[in-house]
C-alpha cells in the first residue's frame, strides 16, 4: 500500500470526529457489480444499500472518505431543498415535484435511521432547525415558506422575534421558521460511519484512489487509477463539487460556491449556556447566507459564503460579536472551508453517463439528507435497471451556462458583502 500525505482541512470535524475509518488504495485488478466514485454521502449511502442487497460493490475515493463537502459542511440535516415546495412543483411539474417534496420531507428519517441502526457516533441532535429572518423581508419570506410546507402537512411553525431570541441567545433576528423534522450531526463522523457500515455489509472501499480514466466497452465500465484497474457492470459517479475529470466519464462544469466556518474553543454554560440551548442548527435568510450552531462540546460554530482568508475571517469575527456580544473575545480554535455545487435552478440532477452509468450532483448546499436518499435510489436504479424510483428523472445531458464566471461572481459578492458588513 502506498503511503500518502494528508490533504485534509484543519477543521473542527477532523479534530472532533468520534468515528474512525481508513482504507487502502486500489492495487491490481478488481471487478464488481457496481463501481462508485466518490466517498461522500451519496456514494457511501449507495455502497451501503447495494452491498446490503448482496451486490459486489467497490467504491473509489480520491482522498479520504468525507474529504469533500461531506466532511466540511455545517452539519444541518434538513427536510427539503433551498427552493420552497411550490417552486419545486412549478419547475418539475406537479407530479414529479410533489414526489420530490415528499421524498425530501422524509429524508431526515433516513439519516437518523442509519445513525441508530449502525450506531454511528456523530453527535445526532434532532431538535430541528431554525431558518432565521435577518430582516423584515426575510420574515415575510419565511411566512410564505411555512404556509407552503404546512399545506403539505409539515409540522413547521413561524416564531416571533422574542421566541427566536430565547432559542438562539441573540436579539438580532426578526423571527424564525422552526422545522422539527430536521436536526444536526457531526458531518464527517456520519460519513465515516456510513463507510464503516458499508464495509461491514461487504462493500470494498479504497481511499487515495483517484480515477484517471474511465471508459465503457464490452458491456463494462473500466476505471483506472495510478495503482489499479476496476471493471464493473454499473457505475455511479458521486463526486459533486469535488469532481476530477476522467476521460470517458465527463461531468458538466458547475457553478461552485465556497463556504467557510469558524469554531470557538469549547465554552462553558456560564458564557454560552443560553446560546441555542435547545440544540437547533440555524441559517439565515440573507442572500450571502450565515449559519450558526453549537456542537456537543459547547463550541459555537459560525459559517458564511466565501473561501476563507483575511476578509472573510475578519467578517466572521465581527459577525459573531454582533450576534452574540459576549463572544467578542472568545478564542477561535478552527477555521476551514469547502465547496458547494450550485445548479442554476437549485435542483439536483441525475445524469446518464452511458450504458449503466449515472452521475448525481447539484445539491446546492443540501447534501446530507438528499445525498443519502439519492445515493440509495441511484444504487437501486443501477442494479435493477429500473429508474422509476429515482427522486428526479435522469437526463441524457446537462449544461450550466457560464459556470466559471458564476463561481467567480459568487465569491466576489461574498467578499464585497463581508468587506462592509457587521462593522459595529
pLDDT of residue 303: 97
| Shared domain check, 263 and 177 | yes
Query: Which CATH number belongs to the domain containing residue 220 in this structure?
Result: 3.50.50.60
**Looking at the domain assignment, is residue 79 inside a domain?**
no
Q: Comparing C-alpha atoms, which of 332, 371, 362, 324 is closest to residue 344? A: 362
DSSP structure class, residue 7: -
**Looking at the domain assignment, is residue 160 inside a domain?**
yes
| Shared domain check, 415 and 338 | yes
Domain that holds residue 155: 124-183+256-343+410-420
| Shared domain check, 244 and 194 | yes
**Looking at the domain assignment, is residue 110 inside a domain?**
no
Q: How confident is the model at residue 206 (pLDDT cuts 50, 70, 90)?
A: very high
Tens-digit pLDDT profile for residues 4-32: 544 566 799 999 999 999 999 999 999 99
**Looking at the domain assignment, is residue 89 inside a domain?**
no
56 neighbors 34 (Cβ within 8 angstroms)? yes
Residue 236 CA to residue 257 CA, distance in Å, equals 24
Name 407's Cβ contacts closer than 8 Å, sequence gap at least 6. 255, 256, 257
Q: Comparing C-alpha atoms, which of 343, 399, 386, 398 is closest to residue 367? A: 343
Name 215's Cβ contacts closer than 8 Å, sequence gap at least 6. 221, 222, 247, 248, 249
Q: How confident is the model at residue 356 (pLDDT cuts 50, 70, 90)?
A: very high
Tens-digit pLDDT profile for residues 154-174: 999 999 999 999 999 999 999
| Shared domain check, 309 and 171 | yes
Q: How confident is the model at residue 145 (pLDDT cuts 50, 70, 90)?
A: very high
Q: How confident is the model at residue 249 (pLDDT cuts 50, 70, 90)?
A: confident
Structural domains in the chain (count): 2
Residue 100 CA to residue 191 CA, distance in Å, equals 23
Tens-digit pLDDT profile for residues 37-94: 999 999 999 999 999 999 999 999 999 999 999 999 999 999 999 899 999 999 999 9
| Shared domain check, 337 and 416 | yes
| Shared domain check, 33 and 177 | no
| Shared domain check, 349 and 233 | yes
Q: How confident is the model at residue 1 (pLDDT cuts 50, 70, 90)?
A: very low
Tens-digit pLDDT profile for residues 173-187: 999 999 999 999 999
Give the total residue count for the chain: 424
Q: Angle formed by the axes of helices 310-323 and 403-420, to 10°? A: 50
C-alpha cell, 68: 469533500
C-alpha cell, 313: 475571517
Residues 100-131, buried b or exposed e (16+ Cβ, 10 A)? bbebbbebbbbbbebbeebebbbbbbbbbbbb
Q: How confident is the model at residue 333 (pLDDT cuts 50, 70, 90)?
A: very high
| Shared domain check, 303 and 228 | no
**H-helix or E-strand spanning residue 108:** helix 107-117
**Looking at the domain assignment, is residue 150 inside a domain?**
yes
- The dihedral formed by the CA atoms of 71, 76, 77 and 78, expressed in degrees to the nearest 10: -130
| Shared domain check, 415 and 321 | yes
Tens-digit pLDDT profile for residues 267-294: 998 899 999 999 999 999 999 999 999 9
Query: Which CATH number belongs to the domain containing residue 136 in this structure?
Result: 3.30.9.10
C-alpha cell, 202: 461487504
Average pLDDT, whole number, for the chain? 95
249 neighbors 237 (Cβ within 8 angstroms)? yes
Q: Comparing C-alpha atoms, which of 368, 1, 23, 381 is closest to residue 200? A: 23
Tens-digit pLDDT profile for residues 296-331: 999 999 999 999 999 999 999 999 999 999 999 999
Phi, psi of 387 (to 5 degrees): -90, 0
139 neighbors 133 (Cβ within 8 angstroms)? yes
pLDDT of residue 423: 52
**Looking at the domain assignment, is residue 329 inside a domain?**
yes
pLDDT of residue 185: 98
| Shared domain check, 336 and 415 | yes
| Shared domain check, 349 and 339 | no
| Shared domain check, 304 and 227 | no
Residue 154 CA to residue 59 CA, distance in Å, equals 36
The model's pTM is: 0.96
**Looking at the domain assignment, is residue 93 inside a domain?**
no
Q: How confident is the model at residue 424 (pLDDT cuts 50, 70, 90)?
A: very low
* 156-165 long-range Cβ contacts below 8 angstroms, 24+ apart: 156/180, 159/130, 164/130, 164/132, 164/133
**Looking at the domain assignment, is residue 92 inside a domain?**
no
Amino acid at each position: 500500500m502506498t503511503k500518502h500525505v494528508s490533504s485534509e482541512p484543519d477543521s473542527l470535524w477532523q479534530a472532533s470526529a468520534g468515528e474512525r475509518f481508513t482504507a487502502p488504495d486500489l492495487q491490481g485488478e478488481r471487478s464488481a457489480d457496481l463501481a462508485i466514485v466518490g466517498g461522500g454521502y451519496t456514494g457511501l449511502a449507495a455502497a451501503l444499500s447495494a452491498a446490503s442487497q448482496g451486490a459486489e460493490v467497490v467504491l473509489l475515493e480520491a482522498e479520504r472518505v468525507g474529504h469533500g463537502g461531506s466532511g466540511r459542511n455545517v452539519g444541518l440535516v434538513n427536510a427539503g431543498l433551498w427552493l420552497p415546495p411550490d417552486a419545486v412543483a412549478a419547475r418539475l411539474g406537479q407530479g414529479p415535484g410533489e414526489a420530490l417534496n415528499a421524498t425530501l420531507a422524509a429524508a431526515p428519517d433516513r439519516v437518523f435511521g442509519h445513525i441508530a441502526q449502525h450506531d454511528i457516533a456523530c453527535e445526532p441532535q434532532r431538535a430541528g432547525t431554525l431558518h432565521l429572518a435577518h430582516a423584515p423581508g426575510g420574515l415575510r419570506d419565511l411566512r410564505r415558506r411555512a404556509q407552503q410546507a404546512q399545506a403539505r402537512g409539515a409540522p413547521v411553525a413561524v416564531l416571533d422575534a422574542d421566541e427566536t431570541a430565547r432559542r438562539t441567545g441573540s436579539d438580532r433576528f426578526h423571527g424564525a421558521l422552526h422545522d422539527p423534522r430536521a436536526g444536526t450531526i457531526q458531518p464527517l463522523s456520519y460519513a465515516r460511519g456510513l463507510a464503516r457500515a458499508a464495509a461491514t455489509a461487504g462493500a470494498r472501499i479504497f481511499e487515495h484512489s483517484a480515477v484517471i480514466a474511465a471508459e465503457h466497452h464490452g458491456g463494462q465500465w473500466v476505471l483506472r487509477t495510478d495503482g489499479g484497474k476496476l471493471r464493473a457492470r454499473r457505475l455511479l459517479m458521486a463526486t459533486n463539487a469535488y469532481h476530477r475529470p476522467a476521460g470517458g466519464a465527463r461531468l458538466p462544469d458547475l457553478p461552485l460556491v465556497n463556504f467557510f466556518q469558524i469554531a470557538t474553543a469549547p465554552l462553558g454554560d456560564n458564557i454560552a449556556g443560553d446560546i441555542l440551548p435547545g440544540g437547533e442548527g440555524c441559517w439565515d435568510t440573507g442572500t450571502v447566507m450565515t449559519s450558526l450552531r453549537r456542537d456537543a462540546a459547547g463550541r459555537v460554530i459560525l459559517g458564511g459564503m466565501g473561501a476563507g482568508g483575511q476578509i472573510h475571517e475578519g467578517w466572521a469575527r465581527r459577525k459573531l460579536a454582533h450576534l452574540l456580544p459576549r463572544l467578542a473575545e472568545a478564542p477561535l480554535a478552527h477555521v476551514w472551508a469547502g465547496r458547494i455545487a450550485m445548479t442554476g435552478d437549485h435542483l439536483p440532477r441525475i445524469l446518464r453517463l452511458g450504458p449503466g452509468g449515472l452521475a448525481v450532483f447539484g445539491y446546492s448546499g443540501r447534501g446530507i439528507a438528499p445525498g443519502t436518499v439519492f445515493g440509495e435510489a441511484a444504487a437501486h436504479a443501477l442494479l435493477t435497471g429500473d429508474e422509476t424510483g429515482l427522486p428526479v428523472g435522469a437526463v441524457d445531458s446537462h449544461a450550466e451556462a457560464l459556470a466559471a464566471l458564476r463561481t467567480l461572481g459568487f465569491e466576489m459578492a461574498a467578499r464585497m458583502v463581508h468587506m462592509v458588513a457587521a462593522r459595529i
